[in-house]
Amino acid sequence: MAEKEVVETSEAQIAVHWAEEGYYYPSPQFIAQANMTDPAVYDRFSLDNFPNCFKEYADLLTWYEYWDEILDTSDAPCFKWFKGGKINASYNCVDRHLADKKNKTALHFVPELEEEKIEHITYQELYVRVNEMAALLRDFAGLKRGDRVTLHLPMVPELPITMLACARLGVIHSQVFGGFSGKAAADRIVDSGSRVLITMDSYYRGGGLLDHKEKAEIAVAQAAKDGQAVDKVLVWQRYPGKASSPTPMVDGRDYFVNDLLKDYYGVRVEPEKMNAEDPLFLMYTSGTTGKPKGCQHGTGGFLAYVTGTSKYVQDIHPEDVYWCMADIGWITGHSYIVYGPLALGASSVIYEGIPTYPDAGRCWRIAQDLDVNIFHTAPTAIRALRKVGPDEPAKYNYHFKHMTTVGEPIEPAVWKWYHKEVGKGEAIIVDTWWQTETGGFLCSTLPAIKPMKPGSAGPGMPGIHPIIFDDEGKELPAGAGIAGNICIQNPWPGMFQTIWGDRQRFVDTYFARYCKDPNSKDWRDWPYLTGDAAVHGPDGYYRILGRIDDVINVSGHRLGTKELESAAMTVPEVAEAAVVPVADDIKGKVPDMYIALKPGFEASEEMTKKIMTAMITEIGPIAKPRKIWIVPDMPKTRSGKIMRRVLAAISNKQDVGDVMTLANPEIVEHIQGMASK
């Protein structure tokens, strides 16, 4: 129970409860062209047919050697899919399309500056660039199968090229979100044991060229302090051949990738025949403790799951132009910008910048220019676009057949604007609920089969069998009308394999709570705890309410409250820090931070600034609290535990409930007084 105990205020407790909405149905035109129209798919993927049903997904891929055991449970809950199979993800996303699609665009790169040309990279060009980069990684950087390498790249085509080059060699990539600080990158370099860092000198954000190379300096220095030497820093250039960062290169350590690539011109690298269960990548995510977890995703299972769900939920056909506006630094980008769409031979759009730069019409101009017909984004972006330009979409001539929302609950009013204005009433919407750990979708409607319902994600995906338990482990059936802890009864191919280097944490965090027998080798004994609260409607649709643990979902970015608190604690004057989620119109949730200073220190504007700066240095700008409240003392229980529930109630302007049992009830009124000013 290592991770579960300290929960006092969860997102779920302050979740909004929306009124029940009616259904929206897909158009006959959509159904006529959809990849999945057979309602019997749910029977084929029923628990009775588990795990063999997932053969359908595996058969979308090209295998060097076909697998002989679909699911190996001998090391439960570390499940292995497609055992005995040999496969390469880079081959599946690139080489296999050359025969009939070499001239087709694989990646459209849209730079943030509108005056810069859009780059269209064909599958042939992708093949060449991935091979040359793979040769460089192998021969210059000395990377080989099983090594880990940290990438700290922005939204540029060099990111998927580097990922696919790693996958070609069997090197495990660990991409750190570009907006994270150098220090945050260092933690992930150390944990993964990377001795090579791949970064970029600069990139555009909000119209300005940011110096990104400076973060590499901090990352390498901090990693060295923490015991992990980085001996090579490979630097892509935003403008090849031109210096775009004032941060100097370090002789014998830093190399411009563009210079090195000249030595690998024309080299082709045979893809490694990986075991299906070999790791493909690590993706770090936040949990209950301060230390981020490296979610380890396997090769065959992950690729099969994201390819299947891209085909049947995203409804991607090779001729579609598909734009997922997430960042590849998060799982959504890995699964649904890079691996899933490219495995299907689609054209995937990568946009460098922010959706509202230089104005509220930017997204719709991109959609019009590239004739995008599938669009995928998070409620935060939808809310922001609605706020700044509610009438903008109508001004542009694009037509989406399909739109996705992901990452947070979407309120029905926002859903309806998305449907009517962005989708012009023509596009279907899928609300996809899933997580970094799960590799791909858990709940969503199948677009041509199940109607949409604003505010609900939908039923479990084919082959995903959710179950809601109460705190005592009793099942809450559909229609119970009570929220509980949503779990998945069965493993699935996209599920992560373990936490890198910490199997015990993997077991404790995700399985210990409802495991029936810790020695069991039967998958039925290992329900997966998602960490979300949900309600199961009488129609079988799930409504996701938010996290039950100490995780806050800010703009669809997942932050651990402990992580934020540890960052504030790096300021020497800070004695205690407590972070709570606050409901926000645009971002869904934002963190409020309460601080108690050590004796002898006073609250001041300077102190607030110092703490704010620490958040940016330790984690990145996404970690900035909405507000920092420096309080004389924290509300505490008699045993000295900070009552985050009370602080959250104050921040959310809700009733604080009975506080008389606290050790210091008078402080509550004092803080309420501060917050009401």
Our finding on whether 285 is near ligand PRX (CB under 6 A) is: yes
Binder of ligand PRX out of 558, 589, 624, 644 (CB under 6 A): 558
Question: What are the φ/ψ torsions at residue 510 (nearest 5 degrees)?
Answer: -105, -15
For ligand PRX, which stretch binds (CB under 6 A), given 165-173, 472-480, 546-554, 565-573? 546-554
Output the smallest distance, CB 431 to ligand PRX, in A.
5
We find the least distance from the C-beta atom of residue 161 to ligand PRX, in angstroms, to be 23
Which range touches ligand PRX (CB under 6 A), out of 202-210, 353-361, 524-532, 598-606?
Answer: 524-532
Q: Tell whether the torsion through CA atoms of 343, 178, 623 and 587 is positive or negative.
A: negative
Nearer to ligand PRX, 199 or 530 (CB): 530
Nearest approach in angstroms of CB 102 to ligand PRX is 32
- Tell me the two tokens of residue 165: 């080059």
245 vs 435 by CB, closer to ligand PRX? 435
- Position of tokens 């791949």? 198
| Interaction residues for ligand PRX, span 399-438 (CB under 6 A) | 406-409, 431-436
**Contact between 547 and ligand PRX per CB under 6 A:** yes
Backbone angles phi, psi at 56, to 5 degrees: -55, -40
- By CB under 6 A, residue 89 contacts ligand PRX: no
The CA-based angle 456-462-467, given to 5 degrees, is 60
Q: How far is the CB of 532 from ligand PRX (least distance, A)?
A: 5
CB closer to ligand PRX out of 41 and 488: 488
Angle, CA 266 vertex, CA 260 and CA 272 arms, to 5° = 90
The rounded distance, in Å, linking the Cα atoms of 198 and 525 is 41
Q: Are 514 and 487 in contact (CB under 8 A)?
A: yes
Which CB, 396 or 469, lies closer to ligand PRX? 469
112 binds ligand PRX (CB under 6 A): no
Q: Does 592 bind ligand PRX (CB under 6 A)?
A: no
Q: Are 293 and 498 in contact (CB under 8 A)?
A: no
Contact at 8 Å (CB) between 164 and 130?
yes
Please state, in angstroms and rounded to a whole number, the distance separating the CA atoms of residues 281 and 279.
6
Burial (CB count <10 Å: 0-12, 13-18, 19+), residue 335: buried
SS3 state at 186: helix
Task: Pick between residue 245 and residue 405 the one whose CB is nearest to ligand PRX.
Answer: 405
Q: Cβ 297 to ligand PRX, closest distance in Å?
A: 12
Measured from the CB atom, the residue of 236 and 305 that comes closer to ligand PRX is 305
Token code pair at residue 320:
């579609």
Among 170, 361, 546, 635, binds ligand PRX (CB under 6 A): 546
CB of 38 to ligand PRX, least distance (A): 25
Per DSSP, the chain holds a count of helices (H) and strands (E) of 21, 30
Per-residue contact flags (x/-) with ligand PRX for residues 436 to 465, judged by CB under 6 A: x--------------------x--------
Residues 382/423, Cβ–Cβ less than 8 Å? no
Task: Work out whether 495 is an interface residue with ligand PRX (CB under 6 A).
Answer: no
Type of residue found at 282: L
Closer residue to ligand PRX, CB minimum distance, 351 or 433: 433
- Between β-strands 466-469 and 428-432, what pairing exists: parallel, antiparallel or unpaired? unpaired
* Smallest gap from residue 437 Cβ to ligand PRX (A): 7
List, in order, residues 6 or more apart from 89 with CB less than 8 Å away: 164, 167, 274, 280, 299, 303, 339, 343
- Give the footprint of ligand PRX on residues 207-226 (CB under 6 A): none
Task: Report the nearest approach of ligand PRX to the CB of residue 6 (Å).
Answer: 18
Q: Residue 401 and residue 315: Cα distance in Å, rounded?
A: 9
Between 360 and 559, CB nearer to ligand PRX:
559
532 touches ligand PRX by CB under 6 A: yes
Helix (H, G, I), strand (E, B) or coil at 604: coil
User: Which is it for strands 402-406 and 374-377: parallel, antiparallel or unpaired?
Assistant: parallel
349 vs 378, beta carbon nearer ligand PRX:
378
- Closest separation between CB of residue 440 and ligand PRX, Å? 9
467 vs 544, beta carbon nearer ligand PRX: 544
CB of 650 to ligand PRX, least distance (A): 23
**Position among 531, 537, 620, 635 found at the interface with ligand PRX (CB under 6 A):** 531
Nearer to ligand PRX, 421 or 549 (CB): 549
Q: In the set 89, 306, 535, 544, which binds ligand PRX (CB under 6 A)?
A: 544
Q: Are 256 and 235 in contact (CB under 8 A)?
A: yes
Q: In this structure, what token pair is assigned to residue 539?
A: 């129609």
CB 232 within 8 A of CB 253: yes
Nearest to 170 by CA among 188, 149, 185, 152: 149
What kind and span of H or E run contains 518? none
**Closer by beta carbon to ligand PRX, 192 or else 377:** 377
SS3 assignment, position 59: coil
Q: Which amino acid is at 373?
A: N
What's the chain's Rg over C-alpha atoms?
24
| Region of 77-85, 387-395, 530-538, 569-577 interacting with ligand PRX (CB under 6 A) | 530-538
State which residue, 67 or 284, has the beta carbon closest to ligand PRX.
284
Residue 591 three-state SS: strand
Query: Going residue by residue from 318 to 357, which x/- string records binding to ligand PRX, judged by CB under 6 A?
Result: -------------xx-------------------------
Interacting residue ranges for ligand PRX, rule: CB under 6 A: 285, 331-332, 406-409, 431-436, 457, 530-532, 544, 546-547, 553, 558
